[in-house]
Amino acid sequence: MTTPILEVKGLRKLFRMKKGWLQQPHYIHALNGIDVSVYEGETLGIVGESGCGKSTLGKCILRLLEPFQGEIRFQGNEIGKMNKKEMRAVRRNMQMVFQNPFETLNPKLTIGHILTEPLISHGIPREQRQALLEETIEIVGMSKQHLSRYPHEFSGGQRQRIGIARALILRPKLIIADEPVSALDVSIQSQILNLLQDLQEQFSLTYVFISHDLSVVAHIADKVAVMYLGEIIEYAEKEKLFGRPLHPYTQALLSAKPITDPDDTREKIVLSGDLPSASNPPKGCKFHPRCRFRMEICKVELPKLCEIEGQSVACHLYQSFPAIDPS
């Protein structure tokens, strides 16, 4: 098997906060030992509720946020300890598409100026810039006449195409897409997803696709990692995870998908309680207060990812009863 283009091991991220009128410091464990690997040309989907650490993971991989602990290897090179100059060279091959196209484009700059900034920053010769601008804007389904306009003149879908063009213009190897369609209408979402897939095929791109929408992930991902309170609790190929979810949380997420087939008899699983606070997570398995299968061990011991017939799941249920049928 070839070496992963991206490999993350034991990634941890803490946020220092102040609490109470005495402003005493405490820490939020946003990421707690994340292990993922992505191979060239693949799309890894990261799913979970808001606040589970999905976006933090994407930003730590690019070192837009500095990890507290762990390894990040890109194309075989450890980038977690690189200085700013070294990271600048690496970032030419690692780009990000952000969630909200209404906030990530500078309203004072034209589209041409916005797309030129990364070319200047990475030392692309002046004589090559205009050709790259025109080629890239047309690849994402827009016209070179749009380069002289400002962001407020475009719709949400067009702005996200511009955001994709900005990430693509340096011809990177890896793109981290952080909820790239969540702010768009459903009809526009499908257009953007199809565009991303076309670009992946054309430029041999690798994606880390972050989303809370399982339908979107099912459309674009090859593998899926399910996150809960800063941890990956299930990890598998898309067909296996959607066809046979193991973790009770993954089962609940999938049961919440809208039912479009009147003959679908899928059981709807309603989770009790709210997502616990990341600053004061439960002991043991972090999901146990909301889990219908919780056992006494779940309250005191954190489960580790274990492999069950080609799927990785962190759940005491399968470690205690390995022959159990998740259906």
The predicted structure's pLDDT at residue 255: 83
CATH number of 6-93+170-320: 3.40.50.300
The predicted structure's pLDDT at residue 274: 75
Q: How far apart are CA 3 and CA 75, in angstroms?
A: 8
The predicted structure's pLDDT at residue 260: 62
Which one-letter DSSP state was computed for residue 87?
H
Q: Is 297 helix (H, G, I), strand (E, B) or coil?
A: helix
Report for 197-201, 309-313, 321-325: range of highest mean pLDDT: 197-201
Tell which wins on pLDDT, 220 or 1: 220
The predicted structure's pLDDT at residue 4: 93
pLDDT in tens, 263-293: 666 677 777 777 787 778 889 999 999 898 8
Q: How far apart are CA 316 and CA 287, in angstroms?
A: 11
102: pLDDT confidence band, cut at 50, 70 and 90? Answer: confident
Average pLDDT, the chain: 88
326: pLDDT confidence band, cut at 50, 70 and 90? Answer: low
Residue 209 pLDDT > 60, yes or no? yes
The predicted structure's pLDDT at residue 148: 93
Residue 131 pLDDT > 80, yes or no? yes
Q: Domain residues of the chain, as ranges?
A: 6-93+170-320
Structure token pair of residue 26: 């405490």
Q: How far apart are CA 211 and CA 218, in angstroms?
A: 11
Residue 1 pLDDT > 60, yes or no? no
216 residue type, one letter:
V
